[in-house]
Amino acid sequence: MTYTSKEHIISSLKKGVRLDGRKPYEFRPVSIVTGTISTAEGSAVVRCGDTEVIAGVKMAIGKPYPDRPNSGTLSVNAELLPISNPAFESGPPSTVSIELARVIDRGVRESKTIDESALCVTPGEAVWMVNVDLCPLNTDGNLIDVGALAAIAALKNTRFPKYEGGQVDYKTKTDKQLPVGIIPIPVTIVKVGDVILVDPTADEFEVADARLTVTTEEDGTICSLQKGGEAPLSLDEVGQMIDLATAQAKELRAILVKAL
């Protein structure tokens, strides 16, 4: 744990130095471990510096929405545990945790990562409902990027449980995998003063004036954007951030593919 005043972080950044010694466009080392929860259908732990997120996938049989009788459902939830950072409090979900879940959910949904028609068991009667739960085990900033990596890694790791005669046998996993196609990778970029940084730590996040999360697919298609913070971003800055995010996403994608 460290404590550093905001003025000190900003004055160092003005001199072009990040206090953990990284370059402005440098990610912390990322490590991915899958299959960490035996009771879940799929799971993963992703670590990036001191930020660590665990993701679990649970699957249940449910009734499809009337307007889409052939589609299963997918949803992402996040809970910020007080154990992961003293700034988090227990109780109803905070705006931060809702935003985290929504941004990751949007990336996975809009890129059509999972072919929802493949989740159909009996049209109009029974479909698979996929729930991804995210919990930070330790938080040192950049939860969106790390959380999304964990969610994707867990989805890739998921095996269908046995389903027979209207009953799901969670103890028996089949070899059938979730139909994970396109992999969306979000990269959050923050602006502190005139400085642009990737993979901000919790301290850097605190002093940031604005942030932009850009989720890209492998071919560079942007599937979601999320702007935060009070300061405005110029068109040039947004362009620069998108280029940066696309380049960073390539590196993260390589790490993810290697780990799976």
Partner 1 sequence: MKESKLLAKDKDIVTPGETIAEGMDFFPGIGTYRYEDRILANQTGLLHVEGKVLKTTPLAGRYLPAKNDVVIGRVSDILMSGWRIDINSPYSSVLPLKDATFDFIKKGADLTEYFSLEDYVVCKITQVTSQNLIDVSMKGPGLRKLRGGQFILVNAAKVPRIIGRQGSMVSMVKKGTGCQIAVGQNGIVWISGEPTSEIIAVEAVRKIEREAHVSGLTDNMKKFLEERTGTKLDLEQIKREAEAESAAAEQPRFQSRPPREESFQEDK
Closest separation in Å from C-beta 5 to partner 1: 7
Binding residues (CB under 8 A) for partner 1: these are 1-5, 7-8, 11-12, 15, 17, 19-21
163: left (phi over 0), alpha (psi -120 to 50) or beta: beta
Instruction: Give me the residues paired with residue 195 across strands.
Output: 192
Q: Which is nearer to partner 1, 1 or 235 (CB)?
A: 1
Cβ-based nearer residue to partner 1, 12 or 226: 12
- As measured in angstroms, the least distance from the Cβ of 102 to partner 1 is 33
DSSP 8-state class, residue 146: H
The residue among 73 and 138 lying less far from partner 1, judged by its C-beta, is 138
Alpha carbon of 65 to those of 59, 77, 150: distances in Å? 17, 20, 28
Looking only at the bridges linking them, the beta strands covering 159-164 and 73-78 are unpaired
C-alpha span between 77 and 53 (Å, rounded) = 13
Nearer to partner 1, 72 or 141 (CB): 141
Shortest CB 221 distance to partner 1, Å: 38
Q: Smallest distance from the beta carbon of 3 to partner 1, in angstroms?
A: 4
- Nearer to partner 1 (CB atom), residue 5 or residue 172: 5
From first CA to last CA, the distance across the chain in angstroms is: 31
Angle formed at CA 85 by CA 139 and CA 107, multiple of 5 degrees: 40
Nearest-approach distance from CB 14 to partner 1, in angstroms: 9
Contact 60, 54 (CB under 8 A): no
